[in-house]
Each structure stands twice: as structure tokens, then as C-alpha cells.
Amino acid sequence: MNRRDFLKSVGLGTASLTLGSSVSASNLFQPKDRPNILWILSEDISPDLGCYGTEAVRTPNLDKLARQGVRYTNAFTTSPVCSASRSAMITGMYQTSVGIHHHRSHRDDGYTLPAPVQPITEYFRQAGYFTANVKTAAPGVRGSGKTDFNFKFKKPFDGSDWNKRKTGQPFFAQLSISVTHRGGHWKNLRQKLKDPVDPAKVKLPPYYPDHPIARDDWATYLDSIQVMDGYVGKILKRLDDEGLTENTVVIFIGDHGRCHVRGKQWCYDGGIHIPLIVRWPGKLKAGQVCDDLVSAIDISATVLKIAGIEPPNYMEGRVFLGPDAKKREYIIAARDRCDETTDRIRCVRTKRYKYIRNFMPERPYTQINRYKERSYPMLPLMRELHAQGKLTPVQALFMAPRKPDEELYDIQKDPYEIRNLADSPEHQKTIKKMRKILDKWIRDTGDKGQFPEPESAIQPRDLDRIKEDRKRP
């Protein structure tokens, strides 16, 4: 393959991916290079960064990382909740294909992945890499050490820091940042910032009420991103200080979308659309923007290829860099039980359209979920305003007593997914095509969401709540 053919094979959106001046297609993935790989996951974030055009937020370190690498605008997770999403990413498999699709399932029943599926860290270990789930991220920064896998595995990582590796040994490191995950620590975030986000300047999605509580909550979310950005800056400085920058591939992503009403746990873009930035010094030309569709499970296949490890044939993730890159026409995402809240939703997302199938439409968006009840200030606000008749029709959609059987959105014209076109006569050809894609995917992957979840797989607390909710009138 010559240089021209290679550039065509990895075209990025409207512009081609270009390589560093000393790199050719033939040596892009040579095992002798054996680069380090640092995979940074920020919890519960959508592409709400300065480099993605988000107003009010300031993310200088991630903006710089984007200028030094490639920023992807169409990256999506396969699930809108952490345990299912992370389980899929670490295996390169749809969580629904291997029975790890229900949130925080299989914690006590000893469930293991079906052979030959295994975490990608095992392939790195076999290739001589040191694998780390980083906790000592940088001075003043700790990684959460979160795995949250919905399966049992003896030793997914070798240690908690890449500095434990042997001299000259390359490393694959996962580093999770939890400050962006909603929790009690959000109450003190403003104290950590010299210039916190002004709630008056945030731009709320139209499906939220323009209310001080909503603005303050959204501003706090952006504040958490600003704190996280500072952590990323310190982590990247550590690479500089240790002389590792030039031989380390840095991948920054979210583990799923933002932790807000209509975001996390939902298949709307707010729940599955994530930032993705890749920096590979000397290999990828800096400052590129790519609009190719990328699924988070593709990252697993790609980092294996970067390390000179051939991704196993069973893996459902695709390599998205280099001469073996395979572009996607669409991505698939799935939501199943989250905490005690049972539901089943599937979606197909192309660059233009989003198709959602609600398998349990009789269950409302606001069915009981205690995590959200105690953590989402916008949820009781919207209930109160809805009772008072003060929500707009768009805002009231989420308060409906049931969900539509099907949803179809033209993302280019309707990026907030608020105008359902499922019954539109002029879109029947599109929705029929999307139905066929989803039906085929369910068959081909053996989507295990079709089958009842055994009670043994559910955490006792969630099982008790499920049984309690079944008794409700």
C-alpha cells in the first residue's frame, strides 16, 4: 500500500488523516515501536469541552491535547451507564453479546466471560506489556481505580502505577477520573476554582426548564469538568517530567454521557455521545478533527493494533486507525436494567439519524430510581413545574406517562432529539431501514437482553427494591 492509498483508507471526515513527517503506512503499527498507551476515562461526561465548542466552560489542557492530536466528533459508547459501558470497552464486545448488559450485575454469582472472550489487558500482558489501573496518577491527583466490570476475572491489571514496570517495559494504563461523576463532592467544587462557571452564562438544552436550580446544576457539572481538566494537565505533565510523552499514545474519553435528566441511562446522545481525543506524537499529525463514527469498543481493538497485537477475530470492536481501519455506517447502543429500574432500549445512530426502539414503552421515563431521586435536583424541579403546568411541550416530553414504541430523529436538523419523526410519512423509508439494521444486529450478536435476568445476578439491594416496586399499585 502506497502513501496515497493509505491516506485514503484512513480519511477523517472531510479531511484525510495525515501522519507525522517521518512515518509511513508500513511502519505505523510495527511491534518494535511498542509505544506506551495511557487511556484516560473521565466519568459521566458528554463532549462538553471548550474544544468541542461548549460555552462557559474552560478546558485549556484538553483543548491543548486536541490541538496536539485528533479530536473525534462522533464517538459513542455502547451503553449509557458505567458498568455495562466499561465492561464492553475492556473486552471490545457489546455488553449484550456476552451477558454483561445489566448495570452492576454478576457481583456475587461468579459469572465469567464466555470463552474465548477476555479483557484486553490479558493480551497486553501476553505481549510483554505492564498493565496498570492507575491510582497514583500525578502529584495532587488520584485515579479512582474504578473497574466496575460485570464479570469476574482473576487479575485484570498488574498494578496501580506504570512506575512498577520493569526497566524498558512498555505499559498499558487505564486511569479513571471520578470528579465528573455526580456526588457529594460537587458541593465544594466552586471552592477549588478561581473562576467557576457563571450559571447565568450556561446554555441549557431546550428540554430543561430555564430555572435557577437547573442553571446552577448545569454550571456545577461544567465546574467538575474544569477541575478534571486541571487533573489531566497534571497527568500530562507527569509524562513530560518522566520523559514518556514522545513514546506514549494518550487516549481521552468519557465512559458514557452526562449525569443529568435525559442523559445517563438513556440512549439519547446525552447518554452515549462522548469526547474522544487521541494524541500519538510523531505518528498522527496534530490538530485534526474527525467526524467518522467510532464506537467505544473500537478503542480496544485499536490500542491492541497500536501495540502490535492482532485483535482476536471474535472481537466486535473495529480498528479505527491505520491501514486496517474499518469505517462504520452506524453505531449501536443498548440500555437494560439500571439499578432497580428495569427497562430495555436499543438505538441505531448514523451521522444523520437516530432510531430508538423502546421494548418496554409502558414504563415511563420517570419510573422509580432512587439514585436519581436523591441526586438529580432537576428531577423534582421538573415534576413540580409539570404539576403546575409550567413546562413547555418540549420539556414535558420527559414527564409523559409512557414512552413511544419507536423514535426517529434527524440529528442534523434536531440535535437535541425532540421532534420524533417515527410517524412522519416522508421518513418511513428511513425508519424501515433502521429497523432492519437493529433487527439484524439483535440476531447476529445474540442480544441477551431478550431473555429474563436471573435474580442471582442482581445485587441484593437492587433485588429488594425491584421486589418492593412490584408490590406498588
Q: Is 334 within a domain?
A: no
Q: Is 183 within a domain?
A: yes
For the residues 76-90, what does the mean pLDDT come to? 98
Q: Is 335 within a domain?
A: no
Instruction: Give the separation between CA 132 and CA 129, rounded to whole angstroms.
Output: 10
CATH number of 25's domain: 3.40.720.10
User: Would you say how long the chain is, in residues?
Assistant: 473
Q: State whether 129 and 153 are in the same domain.
A: yes
pLDDT at residue 21, as a whole number: 44
Enter the pTM of the model.
0.94
Instruction: Give the separation between CA 460 and CA 472, rounded to whole angstroms.
Output: 19
Please give the C-alpha separations between residue 208 and each of 124, 204, 212, 378, 391, in angstroms, as whole numbers. Answer: 44, 7, 11, 8, 9
Beta strands 248-254 and 130-133, pairing class: unpaired
Q: State whether 285 and 415 are in the same domain.
A: no
b/e code 17-54 from CB counts within 10 Å (16+ = b): bbbeeebebeebbeeebbbbbbbbbbbbbbbbbbbbeb
Using a pLDDT cut of 90, give the percent of the chain over it.
89
- Element holding 288 (H helix, E strand): strand 288-295
| pLDDT at residue 9 is higher than 70 | no
Please give the C-alpha separations between residue 216 and each of 59, 164, 165, 261, 385, in angstroms, as whole numbers. Answer: 19, 42, 44, 14, 17
| Residue 3 pLDDT level (bands cut at 50, 70, 90) | very low
**Residues catalogued as catalytic:** 82
Q: Is 238 within a domain?
A: yes
Q: State whether 310 and 363 are in the same domain.
A: no
Q: State whether 203 and 325 are in the same domain.
A: yes
Q: State whether 296 and 401 are in the same domain.
A: no
Kindly report, residue by residue over 21-55, the tens digit of the pLDDT.
Answer: 444 444 555 555 699 999 999 999 999 999 999 99
Total number of domains in the chain: 2
Q: Is 339 within a domain?
A: no
Among 278, 304, 329, residue at a domain's last position: 329
For the residues 433-458, what does the mean pLDDT come to? 97
Instruction: Give the separation between CA 431 and CA 439, rounded to whole angstroms.
Output: 12
Torsional sign, CA 383, 102, 134, 67:
negative
3-state DSSP call for residue 160? coil
| pLDDT at residue 221 is higher than 80 | yes
Q: State whether 233 and 325 are in the same domain.
A: yes
Q: State whether 165 and 83 are in the same domain.
A: yes
216 in the Ramachandran plot: left (φ > 0), alpha (ψ -120 to 50) or beta? alpha
Q: Is 164 within a domain?
A: yes
Instruction: Give the separation between CA 100 and CA 316, rounded to whole angstroms.
Output: 15
| pLDDT at residue 117 is higher than 50 | yes
Among 294, 329, 364, residue at a domain's last position: 329
Q: State whether 138 and 275 are in the same domain.
A: yes
- Estimate the crossing angle of helix 212-241 against helix 378-387, to 10 degrees: 160
Q: Angle at Cα 76 formed by Cα 72 and Cα 80, nearest 5°?
A: 145
Instruction: Give the separation between CA 407 and CA 355, rounded to whole angstroms.
Output: 6
Q: State whether 322 and 353 are in the same domain.
A: no
User: Phi/psi of residue 170, each to 5°?
Assistant: -70, 160
Among 275, 301, 329, residue at a domain's last position: 329
For the residues 366-378, what does the mean pLDDT come to? 94
pLDDT at residue 468, as a whole number: 87
Q: State whether 208 and 264 are in the same domain.
A: yes
For the residues 157-169, what does the mean pLDDT come to? 97
Strands (E) in 178-265, as ranges, are 248-254
Q: State whether 310 and 360 are in the same domain.
A: no
DSSP 246: G
pLDDT at residue 27, as a whole number: 53
Can you give the residue range of the structural domain that contains 314? Answer: 3-329
Residue 306 one-letter amino acid:
I
Q: State whether 142 and 224 are in the same domain.
A: yes
Q: Is 338 within a domain?
A: no
Q: Is 215 within a domain?
A: yes
- Estimate the crossing angle of helix 296-306 against helix 82-91, to 10 degrees: 30
Kindly report, residue by residue over 393-406, the tens digit of the pLDDT.
Answer: 999 999 999 999 99
